[in-house]
Amino acid sequence: ARLREDLPGACARGELAVAFQPVVSLVEQRIVGVEALLRWRHPELGEVPPAEFVPIAERAGVIGELQRWALDQAARAAVALPVLHAPLRLGVNISASHVAARTLVGDVAAVLQCTGLAPERLILEITEATLMAGTDDIAVDVEALRLMGVHVALDDFGTGHSSLTHLSALPIDVLKLDRDFVARVDRDPRSRALCESVIAIGRALGLDVVAEGVETPAQLGVLRGLGCGFAQGFLLSRPLRLSELTELLETGA
Ligand code: G
Ligand code: G
Ligand code: MN
Ligand code: NA
């Protein structure tokens, strides 16, 4: 109840922030993107994880506002980041209800316009469950976003029920391999086989595959051996504040 009451004003009170977790190319061996992750520092309760407050925001009907703010902040940050080789890509998580509310296309267009972020740099991370709910409305919106040049990632891939046939029909550019599979990739033959198939499917469909939640060199080694293109996780970098990310890029990590 406390969170539900405090959330609507949290943005205006400056309690929200966006953290950025680097995404690394395993081929180029450098940071090629970041995932924006919303943070709420409650004045009394401390850090509230998004897994807790995003569902509350959805039920309270303030997810649209929250999401617009996060998109705007993340895009502003992205255009101001130092460019080393190529401009970093920016992943932003989009919740199911925001997609369902049908304001996403307009919201994204407005943010691109206001910040000058190139659409090709933006990757909307949408979960398998949301995309698979696949009503025609959602398909129309996602198609409109891709026509604008924006990329779409299937987030938490492996946790839903996409069949291969269905996957090839989805309007996506990136597969994010769920960290549940990555966690045991170096120890459990089944996890390894699953990761191997996802990477192979990605290659067959021309999709980038990003392994999430990489925590150990052993996991990274196996994923690299399987031909996984990209990775993120605590081993490579935890989510960083903008100042930390800028410093990391400037000191050439
Ligand atoms: O950072 P953390 O691991 O606590 O994030 C937990 C979950 O919160 C992730 O599943 C992520 O997709 C979600 N999340 C983080 N930031 C945002 C955001 O800006 N919008 C939405 N809808 N979800 C987010
Ligand atoms: O659902 P989504 O993939 O958007 O969630 C990303 C979340 O995963 C973020 O909240 C981030 O803090 C968390 N995360 C990032 N790297 C790791 C990791 O290596 N291990 C674990 N357990 N969580 C991670
Ligand atoms: Mn994500
Ligand atoms: Na994910």
CA of 95 to the centre of ligand 1 (A): 9
CA of 243 to the centre of ligand 1 (A): 20
In 3D space, the residue among 225, 231, 218 whose CA is nearest the CA of residue 179 turns out to be 231
Please give all residues whose CB falls under 5 A of ion ligand 3, grouped by chain where several chains appear: 93, 125, 155
Mean confidence (pLDDT) of the chain: 92
Residue 13: is its pLDDT beyond 80?
A: yes
Q: Does 54 sit in the ligand 1 pocket, CB within 6 Å?
A: yes
| Residue with CA at minimum distance from ligand 1 atom 13 | 50
| Residue with CA at minimum distance from ligand 1 atom 10 | 51
Give the mean pLDDT of 119-137.
85
Give the mean pLDDT of 62-68.
91
Q: Does 37 sit in the ligand 2 pocket, CB within 6 Å?
A: yes
Instruction: Output 159 or 103, whichever has higher pLDDT.
Output: 103
Please tell me the predicted confidence (pLDDT) of residue 92: 98
Beta strand 89-93 with 174-177: parallel, antiparallel or unpaired?
A: unpaired
Sequence-separated contacts (24+) of 170-174 with Cβ below 8 Å: 170/131, 171/139, 171/142, 171/143, 171/146, 172/131, 172/207, 173/123, 173/146, 173/207, 173/208, 174/123, 174/207, 174/208, 174/209, 174/210
Q: Does 156 sit in the ligand 2 pocket, CB within 6 Å?
A: yes
Note the pLDDT tens digit of each residue in 206-238.
Answer: 999 999 999 999 999 999 999 999 999 999 999
Please tell me the predicted confidence (pLDDT) of residue 253: 54
CA of 43 to the centre of ligand 2 (A): 24
For residue 155, the ligand 2 atom closest to its alpha carbon is 3
Please tell me the predicted confidence (pLDDT) of residue 129: 80
Give the mean pLDDT of 161-190.
88
Please tell me the predicted confidence (pLDDT) of residue 168: 82
Note the pLDDT tens digit of each residue in 151-172.
Answer: 999 998 877 777 777 788 888 9
